[in-house]
Amino acid sequence: MKYYIWTEGCQMNVADSQRVASALEHLGYHDTPRPDDADVIVMNTCVVRQSAEDKAYGRLSSLRPLKEKKPGLVINLMGCLVGVKGSERLKARLPYVDVFSPPSDPGPLIAYLTQGQAQELEQRETVRRYAWMDGDLMLPASERGQQVSAFIPIVLGCSHACTYCIIPYRRGGEISRPPEEILSEAHALVAQGVKEITLLGQIVDRYGKDHPEYPTLAGLLTRLNAIDGLERVRFLTSHPNWMTDELLDAVASLPKIMPHIEVPIQAGDDQVLESMHRGYTVQQYRDLVARLRARIPNVSIATDIIVGFCGETAEQFEHTYELLADLKLDVAHLARYSPRTGTFSARRLADDVPDAEKWERFRRLEALQEGIAGEIHARYLSQATTVLFEEKVKNRWKGRTPTNKLVFVESDADLRSKVLPVHITWTGPWSMQGRVVDPVLERN
């Protein structure tokens, strides 16, 4: 019995798909790269932008003929398109889909496959235990022993309610996972060969706020740092308001916690930030960047920006442009605003920046950031840095620096999972090239 999983969207969805794969492997299924060969197809969807939603519907309709040819095929629609409440409308629209699952929950699929209504509750519990608690998490067979970097969701859902964001409606309110579950999942992943773990949450730095008895994120990082065999830990996405000095100092002082912070600003203008309901000002974000740079040596900082939010004037956009030019952050993930049904901005604010103007603003920021990233990367030239190697891509080994920069190295040796010193010989805005400093290490 074979399964095929299609994943669209954020790292949280990637992690959710891994969990579904793990649950299916426990039931004796094996993964296949071909949907035509599969007995179970899981479509793990994203709706954060309209284009992602359109893509999901496109892929779903392409499955219809397959289902007609092979009626025993089980199609599972999962993720944000379904949302936390499920959707009767979706069920009517997609009659050939067998199972609808909310984000992060393989339960309905496993219950369907095991076919016992009476067992459904039990199964849900079992699947949850497989995925979260047992310390027995299984990766898909194809990834076992090969996966170098894995995700662990630690905060599910979000309660912040940024006006543009659909996540709270689809993933529900914020829930921190118990630290014991997270640590046992980390131990299980490391036992299977994983070297790097990225902790995930919509506002990851709020970890534990809903459970005062849990450690803070800094406390959790301290415990993860102590795991033998684990080389690197990252966490994302942070919200500017919750980045305590305790957290920054944990990143600076714990050797396995990588100096890379993902902390979106979304806009560089106070009025736009207010209408997005972000909860901070541009000056507060500037102060945070200064604090990050003062407390964490060589920190790299990534941000997210939405251009063309409701009512964003040309002048307000210029403020974002100037801020980005001034702060010179390592990475800017750019998006053009797209109204998501049900959100505050879609209901109450006019999507009044024309599409062509959104594109224009997007391209200007893209060009600006390309220059900044090129400048930052050039500082690595002729320097040595450590790289964790993940896989070979077209004859070159791909890995990342502690600051999350992409590095390629040509080598005939098997570098997978190794952390090696690399001398950087070329840099560009998106990646770097180098050679392993010590050829003896490279072979061992």
Residues sharing a CB contact under 8 Å with residue 347, sequence separation 6 or more, in sequence order: none
For residue 378, give the DSSP letter.
Answer: H
The residue (of 130 and 169) whose beta carbon lies closer to ligand SAM is: 169
Q: Please name the residue that has the structure tokens 């090239």.
A: 433
The residue (of 123 and 300) whose beta carbon lies closer to ligand SAM is: 300
The residue (of 35 and 103) whose beta carbon lies closer to ligand SAM is: 103
The residue (of 40 and 199) whose beta carbon lies closer to ligand SAM is: 199
Q: What is the DSSP string of 138-184?
A: PPPTTTTTT--EEEEEEEES-----TT--HHHHH-S-EEPPHHHHHH
CB of 327 to ligand SAM, least distance (A): 16
The residue (of 50 and 382) whose beta carbon lies closer to ligand SAM is: 50
The residue (of 285 and 380) whose beta carbon lies closer to ligand SAM is: 285
The residue (of 103 and 399) whose beta carbon lies closer to ligand SAM is: 103
Give the H or E element holding residue 261.
strand 260-262
Residues sharing a CB contact under 8 Å with residue 339, sequence separation 6 or more, in sequence order: 50, 164, 345, 346, 351
CB of 45 to ligand SAM, least distance (A): 13
CB of 171 to ligand SAM, least distance (A): 10
The three-class DSSP label of residue 440 is helix
Go through the chain and tell me how many residues it has.
Answer: 444
The CA distance from 133 to 377, in Å, is 40
CB of 194 to ligand SAM, least distance (A): 23
Distance in Å from the first CA to the final CA of the chain: 38
CB of 23 to ligand SAM, least distance (A): 24
CB of 165 to ligand SAM, least distance (A): 5
CB of 286 to ligand SAM, least distance (A): 17
Residues sharing a CB contact under 8 Å with residue 201, sequence separation 6 or more, in sequence order: 153, 154, 155, 156, 207, 235, 236, 237
CB of 304 to ligand SAM, least distance (A): 3
User: Which of these, 78, 71, 75, lies nearest to 41 by C-alpha position?
Assistant: 75
The CA distance from 122 to 61, in Å, is 33
Beta strand 175-176 pairing with 149-156: antiparallel
CB of 317 to ligand SAM, least distance (A): 15
Residues that bind ligand SAM (CB under 6 A): 10, 48-49, 162, 164-165, 167, 202, 237, 239, 264, 266, 304, 306, 335, 337-338, 340
Residues sharing a CB contact under 8 Å with residue 11, sequence separation 6 or more, in sequence order: 151, 198, 200, 236
355 phi and psi, to 5 degrees? -55, -45
The residue (of 6 and 344) whose beta carbon lies closer to ligand SAM is: 344
Residues β-bridged to residue 392: 397
The residue (of 164 and 380) whose beta carbon lies closer to ligand SAM is: 164
